[in-house]
Structure 1
Amino acid sequence: MTRPVASVSVTASIRKAIEIMIAADCSGLPVLGDDGSLRGIITEGDLLRRKELDLRAAADAGTVDALSDYVHGSSWRVEDVMSADVVSVMPTAPLGEIAGLMAVHSIKRVPVVLDGRVVGIVSRRDLLKAVVAGLPDRIPRGEEALRLAIATRLKSDLNLPREQIAVAVQDGNVILTGIVETELHRKAIKVLVESLRGSATVVDNVKTIADRP
């Protein structure tokens, strides 16, 4: 996660929020109350609905939607423009859970909250950094160790038993032989093998059922 966190007060102006976003080079800010508690979040998307940009779809005057759009697009108070319904997580939340929340709620950032206070924020960029920093799985050295590791992962990850896919390792090259149902199975096998540290190249002799004479 990113910390310290750039944030804005719930009583601040929209102008102040924009200045903080520009200075911190971020696209969203947690909105904090006077006691430091999380009150909402304000994003570039919220600010692009301003009347100055004239991008809001017209609604029938006097309706709830029209009034809401007017307040959102015209007010200069952060409290009137922010999203009050904030999805947050604890510091112990796994990255997979955070990525799932982003997908389900169509959001780009998730505040990290401990004892009611924002201690960090996780953005999509932070998740991408975690992916790039991830190293291939470490396995014991030696061709036999590599062969056993691949065979074990084929069973645990892809449900492919050893009698279906034969694995051999010679001179650092992984040689795969067997028959699978689809081309997607073949691709998954290759991805699995390439993710293991120690494999130089893959000799793919795996056939699909459609390839059989």
Structure 2
Amino acid sequence: MQIVTTHKNTDFDAFASTVAATVLYPGTIAVLPKSANPNVKAFLSIHKNMLSIYTSDEIDMNQVNHLIVVDVNRWDRLDGMEKLKQKQGLEISLWDHHLNDGDIEANWKCREDMGANITLMIRKMREKNETLTPMLATLFLIGLYEDTGNLRFPSTKAEDAHAAAYLLEQFADLNVLNSFLRQPYGEKQKNILFEMLKTAERTSVNGYNISFSKMDIEGHVGSLSVVIQMYREIMNVEAAFGIFSNKGQNRCMVIGRSSLDSLDIGTIMRALGGGGHPGAGSAMLKTTDPDAVEAMITDLIQGNQQASVQIGDIMSFPVITVSPDTKMQEVAMILREKGCTGVPVIEGEKIIGIISRRDFRKVRKDSALNAPVKAFMSKNIITIEPGRSPMQAARLMVKHDVGRLPVVENGRVIGIITRSDAMNYFYDLLPNR
């Protein structure tokens, strides 16, 4: 017997991938966790006669010789699969678009960074010339759109868009899609959002604009992910975290949303025992101390930032500099010959100014070209440390309307980062060093 399963709190990408496996592996039994997102449950309720779905309780695990796992790579996120974890001779196939380390050792796997897991499986279907019904095409497109934010999340790849086009060609129904992607937002969710906004605060963690909201809740409250997304958009921050404490159950639900690929919510949530993607994720913790949870998330963000690309990795060096007594005519020649738009002015080892092409607009007479650079340089010096991020550099340039930032360490200029350096990084144009 071969079965396919996915992670707990099943979302549409996981659900769609589970059903897709029954297409790619004929005779496979789809086994869903008991916990699924409300919109997935609604879809199942309406389409139950068109889909053959089981729970782990209905499967004789002793008969299973092939396990297919989709959209997850950890045993502890599967439901009711404990017997299979230690089973000798079990064949395991894995489909996962997360590249984080897991503990499921598969005989065969397809793991690739992609906006949605279903995209990987659609690729295989197209290779095999599988024919899809409009219902299946619609389900797969719902999964794809949900995990890529309608192709808007930074994690979205070109192949996700191609897969979406293919599913539309297979007559995926956008009206049905819209009805299930529009998650319920009622009076309870509205009240929670209102309470969150009343105590809303912004903070900065390693240059990221973040908002944490901590609330006590009782019982089950659905669609909190929708609330957090709305909260992030209203607060106009790059990431938002909702920390919901349920003291009656002695646990804490954490939901995060991010608009930046570099601030990977999925990585943070996996460290807390949950899961997700760069733009969205959640975790359930056995604690009711929201301050401790916030501190953990802050530490994780700082850790992620330290492990990512830093200014020291992309800055230009050695730095072309001039002294304060250098004549403007000589500076003009340096800028022209070196192809620079500006250079730091150094006295001893200390930076005292910046001279740029823009400053030459102050030169009204030709005779002024014989004047020292200190007469025309900008003394409003904005610098950055080598351990900061490219995003922080870009923000400083925009905020202060400057085209370059000297990189300073222990009071000395060790490099320089320009607008071009920052943009090259963001658009992956950096040469291999």
TM-score normalised by structure 1 residue count: 0.51
Q: Out of 108, 118, 123, which is 2:403 matched to?
A: 108
Q: Which residue of 1 aligns with 2:363?
A: 50
Aligned residue among 16, 21, 28 for 2:330 = 16
Distance apart, 1:18 and its partner CA: 1.1
Match of 1:32 among 341, 346, 352: 346
Superposed displacement of residue 111, structure 1: 0.5
CA shift for structure 1 position 132: 2.2
Matched, 1:79 2:393: no
Larger relative contact order, structure 1 or 2 (CA cutoff 8 Å, min sep 6):
1
Asked if the contact 1:13–1:78 (Cα under 8 Å) also holds between the matched residues in 2, the reply is yes
Tell me the CA shift for residue 52 of structure 1: 3.2
Pairing of 1:88-107 with structure 2 (within 5 A): 88-107=383-402
Contact 2:386 2:408 in 1 (8 A): yes
Q: Distance in 2 between matches of 1:7 and 1:38?
A: 9
User: 1:56-84: per-residue Cα shift (whole Å, max 9, x none)?
Assistant: xxxxxxxxxxxxxxxxx677111111011
Amino acid at match of 1:117: R
Change (3 A) 1:20 1:134: closer
Residue aligning to 2:108: none
Aligned residues of 2:328 and 2:369 also touching (Cα < 8 A): no
Deviation track 1:144-187 (CA, whole Å, cap 9, x = no partner) reads: xxxxxxxxxxxxxxxxxxxxxxxxxxxxxxxxxxxxxxxxxxxx
CA separation of 1:8 and 1:131: change in aligned 2, threshold 3 A: same
Letter in 1 for 2:332: I
* Separation in structure 1 between the aligned mates of residue 385 and residue 370 of structure 2, nearest angstrom: 32
| AA partner of residue 98 (structure 1) | A
Stretches of 4+ aligned residues off by more than 2 angstroms: none
- Count residues with an aligned counterpart: 115
Quote the residue 2:354 is aligned against. 41
Conserved 8 A contact 1:32-1:40: yes
CA distance in 2, matches of 1:100, 1:9: 28
Structure showing greater Rg: 2
Matches within 5 A, 1:62-73: none
Residue identity matched to 1:24: K
Give how far 1:49 is off. 2.2
> SS at the partner of 2:362?
coil
Q: Percent identity?
A: 30
Q: Retained in 2: the 8 A contact 1:51–1:74?
A: no
- Computed over aligned residues only, the root mean square deviation of the Cα atoms, in angstroms, reads 2.0
CA contact (8 A) 1:109 1:121 kept: yes
The Cα shift of 1:23 comes to: 1.7
Distance (whole Å) between structure 2 residues aligned to residue 19 and residue 36 of structure 1: 23
DSSP 3-state at the match of 1:129 = helix
**Structure 1 counterpart of 2:320:** 6
Residues 188-210 of structure 1, C-alpha deviations (whole Å, 9 max, x = no match): xxxxxxxxxxxxxxxxxxxxxxx
Q: Structure 1 unaligned runs (5+)?
A: 54-72, 136-213
**Partner Cα distance (2:375, 2:365) in 1:** 16
Equivalent position amino acid for 1:52 in 2: K
Note if contact 1:38-1:118 (Cα within 8 Å) is conserved in structure 2.
yes
Does the residue aligned with 1:120 lie in a helix, a strand or coil?
strand
Is contact 2:327–2:369 with CA below 8 Å preserved after alignment?
no
CA contact (8 A) 2:359 2:376 kept: yes
Counterpart of 1:8 in structure 2: which amino acid? V
Contact 2:329 2:369 in 1 (8 A): no
Structure 1 residue 38: deviation in Å?
0.5
Q: Does 1:132 align with 2:427?
A: yes
> Given the superposition, is the C-alpha separation of residues 5 and 51 from structure 1 closer, same or farther in structure 2, using an over 3 Å criterion?
same
Flag structure 2 segments of 5+ consecutive residues without an equivalent. Answer: 1-314
Determine if contact 2:362/2:376 at 8 Å carries over to the other structure: no
TM-score for the superposition, normalised by structure 2: 0.25
Partner SS for 1:9: coil
Distance in 1 (alpha carbons) for counterparts of 2:349 and 2:392: 25
